[in-house]
């Protein structure tokens, strides 16, 4: 476990991600004119999305962010301008549209507007970070890029994995860590479950980094580390298409948030099928409020995910709907970890 003297590192990631939230704000005010569209009265998400021509993913990134900033409210299925948001309507005097607009030509803002309108970058010919889908190129299959992206996540994984491992079920059995990246979540869980085994599934280039990190750990003086090598299997593959091994626990850490909604449902179905009766699907991620109006740290993160991947942040209610559709029984537990992350889980009914 982390000792009490180690701070939650959330302030660092919040400051990092605020940049993406700022871009959303300026895009909404000066390019998409969200507040002017709402100035005659509330609209549903679908109505407003149609007016400003946003598809589902960008809409579900932008509107929750503006709610989290207290500029819009979302009640009874309607988006409305708040008292604060009124000061972003051009017809209101005074207003701050001109002041916010001093930044409207910033390159990051212009690119955010393009990505919002296009539901992603205009040119994705080199692939998208953290995702491998179909036959096209993926940075996760490029030795250098896969290494730098995986090592880029390693500090977060090192820090959060002991907390996650302490909260996952303790049981004798098998853990399947899908899209396991560095493998730290698996290594920490195995250290706490000395009779268990695990499989880490990811792209081959990522798994070679995970194997190096395991070597380091095995050579360290951590109690039990020497047993890890025989208990971990590295499984190179494609989680979207390859057969998944049967397992007792399946961990999806920072996984769903890289993918659009239909892919998330498909993944939930595949993961449910790979669980043995009584098995558990665990998700470690940052969750939107079920009311889709924050929290700000997560709407900023959602903007960053929207920018860099095919996904966004989802609410626990969205995950639980996928779980039910996949035949799983969601629990009501919401377990916070750190860095604005948390755990939720669902059970596969016993036979």
Ligand X SMILES: C[S@@+](CC[C@H](N)C(=O)[O-])C[C@H]1O[C@@H](n2cnc3c(N)ncnc32)[C@H](O)[C@@H]1O
Min CB(291)–ligand X separation in Å? 26
131 touching ligand X, by CB under 6 A? yes
One residue of 181, 279, 330, 342 binding ligand X per CB under 6 A: 181
One residue of 38, 81, 200, 206 binding ligand X per CB under 6 A: 206
Sites for ligand X among residues 214-253 (CB under 6 A): 238-240, 253
* Among 89, 81, 78, 107, CA closest to 29: 89
Q: Which is nearer to ligand X, 202 or 248 (CB)?
A: 202
Cβ atoms of residues 25 and 108 within 8 Å: no
* Cα–Cα separations (whole angstroms), residue 159 to 23, 44, 76, 164, 297: 29, 40, 39, 10, 18
Give residue number: closest CB to ligand X: 181
**Residues binding ligand X: number (CB under 6 A):** 22
Omega of the bond leading into 8 within 30 degrees of 0 (cis)? no
One residue of 35, 87, 130, 301 binding ligand X per CB under 6 A: 130
Please enumerate in sequence order all residues whose Cβ is within 8 A of that of 304, keeping only pairs 6 or more positions apart, or say none.
16, 17, 20
Count of beta carbons in the 10 Å neighbourhood of residue 175: 28
157 touching ligand X, by CB under 6 A? yes
Sites for ligand X among residues 21-40 (CB under 6 A): none
Q: Which is nearer to ligand X, 113 or 198 (CB)?
A: 198
9 touching ligand X, by CB under 6 A? no
Q: Which is nearer to ligand X, 166 or 240 (CB)?
A: 240
Q: Which is nearer to ligand X, 179 or 264 (CB)?
A: 179
């Amino acid at each position: 476990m982390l000792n009490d003297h180690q701070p939650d590192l959330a302030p660092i990631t919040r400051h990092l991600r605020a940049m993406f939230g700022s871009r959303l704000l300026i895009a909404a005010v000066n390019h998409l004119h969200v507040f002017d569209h709402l100035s005659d009265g509330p609209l549903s998400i679908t109505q407003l999305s149609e007016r400003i021509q946003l598809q589902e993913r960008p809409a579900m990134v932008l509107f929750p962010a503006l709610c989290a900033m207290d500029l819009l409210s979302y009640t009874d299925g309607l988006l409305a301008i708040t008292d604060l948001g009124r000061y972003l309507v051009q017809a209101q005097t005074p207003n701050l549209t001109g002041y916010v607009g001093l930044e409207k030509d910033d390159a990051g803002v212009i690119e955010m507007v393009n990505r919002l309108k296009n539901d992603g970058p205009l040119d994705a010919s080199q692939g998208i970070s953290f995702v491998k889908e179909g036959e096209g190129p993926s940075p996760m299959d490029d030795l250098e890029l896969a290494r730098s992206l995986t090592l880029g996540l390693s500090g977060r994984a090192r820090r959060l994995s002991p907390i996650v491992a302490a909260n996952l079920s303790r049981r004798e059995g098998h853990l399947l860590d899908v899209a396991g990246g560095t493998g730290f979540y698996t290594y920490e869980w195995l250290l706490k479950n000395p009779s268990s085994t695990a499989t880490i599934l990811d792209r081959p280039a990522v798994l070679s980094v995970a194997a190096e990190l395991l070597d380091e750990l095995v050579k360290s003086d951590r109690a039990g580390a020497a047993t890890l090598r025989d208990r971990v299997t590295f499984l190179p593959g494609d989680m979207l298409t390859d057969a998944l091994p049967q397992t007792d626990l399946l961990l999806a850490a920072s996984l769903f948030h890289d993918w659009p909604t239909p892919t998330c449902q498909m993944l939930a179905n595949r993961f449910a099928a790979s669980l043995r009766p009584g098995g558990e699907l665990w998700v470690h991620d940052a969750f939107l409020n079920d009311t889709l109006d924050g929290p700000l740290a997560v709407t900023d993160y959602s903007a960053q995910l929207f920018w860099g991947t095919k996904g966004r942040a989802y609410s626990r209610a969205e995950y639980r709907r996928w779980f039910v559709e996949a035949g799983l029984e969601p629990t009501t537990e919401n377990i916070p970890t750190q860095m604005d992350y948390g755990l939720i889980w669902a059970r596969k009914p016993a036979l």
